[in-house]
Amino acid sequence: MSNVIFAKNNALGAFNPAVAHKRKERDVMKLLMSDYKVIQSKENAYDFLVEFSGPASSLYEGGKWEVHVMLPEAYPYRSPSIGFNKKIYHPNVDEASGSVCLDVINQAWSPMFDLINIFDTFLPQLLLYPNPADPLNPEAAALMIKEPKKYEQKVREHVRKFAGAGATETKKEEKEEEDTEMEVENEDENDDAMSLSEVSELSETSTLLSESN
């Protein structure tokens, strides 16, 4: 799994490994029992993907992303690491890596928060209220400030292409194009094979006629 940012340690305090382990298990179980679709890594139960939908009434509505979450050993005293596994156009998200610039996670994390908070509150707030003053995607930040209409159009294009129904349609179209190309290649090969066969038959016929004469 990739596209993860590792958050700073802000609340280690009196770290107790036994307490941290129990809390990790509890929070992961709570997330698994929620309505979110979660895919755990076979190698690490604290490394998983969570399906996250764009909040209603936002430019990201209708999109679905896989968010990579990794819990550090010191969780919940250390904040989880998160990153988008699909492309998303947002001033505070690195478009290439999916890394998230999210103050509430990277700097203001508290052991009082849990994993559900990330998907119920933190990420929706990020998508609803981008902060172009603290960008990880300078192009998106500049476009949002200077040409908001073009910015909105580009966000929606990314949602459609990489995270919405359009993404499925795009993959389907690409598959159909590949199938068509293969069919054309097979037809060409068959035509070539038929041509060789016809030449061979003509040659045999010519030889027979010569012998009969």
The residue annotated as part of the active site, out of 5, 82, 101, 102, is 101
What is the set of domains in the chain, with CATH numbers? 17-163 (3.10.110.10)
- In the chain, which stretches have pLDDT less than 50? 2, 5-11, 168-174, 209
Respond yes or no: is residue 101 known to be catalytic. yes
Q: Give per-residue pLDDT as tens, 22-34.
A: 999 999 999 999 9
What is the CA 153 to chain-centroid distance, rounded?
Answer: 20
The token duo for 73 is 């050993």
3-class DSSP state of 179: helix
Q: Give per-residue pLDDT as tens, 115-138.
A: 999 999 989 999 999 999 989 999
